[in-house]
Amino acid sequence: MFNFFKKFMPAPDLKPFLGALLDERQPAEKQDDVHFSDIVATANPVNWITKASYRTFPVLDQNQSYTCGANALSKAEGVSFAQKYGSYLQLSRADIYQRRMNRPQAGMTLYDMFDIASQGVTLEQFVSSKLYNDSDYDSAVIESWMKDVAKTFSINGGVYLENDIDTIASVIQTTGKGVILLTYFLSSEWSRQVPVITNRLLGRNDPSSLRHFVVAVDFTLINGVKYLVIEDSAHFGGLAQRLVSEDWVKNRVAGAGYPMNFKFVPGTGNKPTYNGATIVSAQECLKFEGVFPQNVATIENVGPTTRKALAAFQNKYGLPVTQAIDVATRNKLHQLYP
């Protein structure tokens, strides 16, 4: 039933399992974060079936460093490239980790990872993969030409998810992407093929709690229970792949998200008509203008995606930048899309 890849090595020091930092930004700092509910009206139903085997990707090894975030982002982007181009592309974990916000301190956050990805990450083959600790990653030489190459692989955003197993599995099923999870646990809970919660009172900030970034790459149903298939760069307990249950996702995932490249392309053909009655109508016009992503659903919601599109539209036509469908913006939309 289980198709796990094992790496036989001594159990690593537990300290690197604090490499996943919690998002401690203030609410105002999070207002531009794109959430799944902002770009998708309803998640596609998941085909929950028992699978004989699971998707697998090249095994990454953080070598007892605090670089689980860099490994998770490299894995998630590699999965995205494999889905789009048919070939897994490994991006440099050293390049990612060197650019963390809290350097020289250890670890990184999910929003930090998305910000780095938006600037582009160079290829792993340009930097030695035999890096064993944080100082090795920080001292790796990234030449200027390598940074130029990195721009080729930039994305322009990340999408945050709730810790809901159906939504996460739907993203994997619909897009083929990997989803980054920030999980926390006791060492005894995580050291098994199927982690089990033994301390229901454990908090993400508890002194005994270990925090870690992993990537969910598949999903399955076993004896009526939903599981995510995750790949783990720390190989705790000698495992590079394991299953986490719906109970685990609900109670031990403190953050989730995936990289996404939003496509901005001006519309062609028949122009939409702005009716002034719905947000969707405005979004369709903004999409035709090329300021609202073509690969995002138009839904009755003024979230970060719509606010950014409105700001771009208002800047384009010299309107007050309010990021809202105000009178001046409404009149302009009526004029352009009668």
Q: What is the pLDDT of residues 134-192, one digit of tens each?
A: 999 999 999 999 999 999 999 988 999 999 999 999 999 999 999 999 999 999 999 99
Computed over every residue of the chain, the mean pLDDT equals 92
Give pLDDT, residue 11: 41
Sequence-distant (6+) residues with CB within 8 A of 129 are 93
**Which of 8-22, 191-205, 274-288, 291-305 shows the lowest mean pLDDT across its residues?**
8-22
Maximum Cα interatomic distance, the chain, rounded to a whole number of Å: 68
The candidate with the shortest Cα–Cα distance to 159, out of 57, 297, 325, is 297
Contact 214, 240 (CB under 8 A): no
Domain coordinates in residue numbering, the chain: 15-259, 279-336
**% pLDDT > 70, the chain:** 95
Provide the pLDDT confidence category of residue 300 given band limits of 50, 70 and 90.
Answer: very high
Retrieve residue 155's tokens.
């994305």
- CATH number, span 15-259: 3.90.70.10
Q: Which range, 108-117, 234-243, 267-276, has the best average confidence (pLDDT)? A: 108-117
Instruction: Output the pTM of the full model.
Output: 0.92
Provide the pLDDT confidence category of residue 127 given band limits of 50, 70 and 90.
Answer: confident
pLDDT at 317 over 50: yes
Indicate the length of the chain as a whole number. Answer: 338
Tell me the average pLDDT across 116-120: 96
Tell me the average pLDDT across 240-256: 97
Give pLDDT, residue 14: 56
Provide the pLDDT confidence category of residue 15 given band limits of 50, 70 and 90.
Answer: low
Q: Where are the beta strands (DSSP E) in the chain?
A: 34-35, 158-161, 179-185, 210-222, 225-231, 241-245, 253-259
pLDDT at 83 over 60: yes
The pLDDT tens digits of the residues spanning 26-55 come to 999 999 999 999 999 889 999 999 999 999
pLDDT at 9 over 80: no
pLDDT at 114 over 50: yes
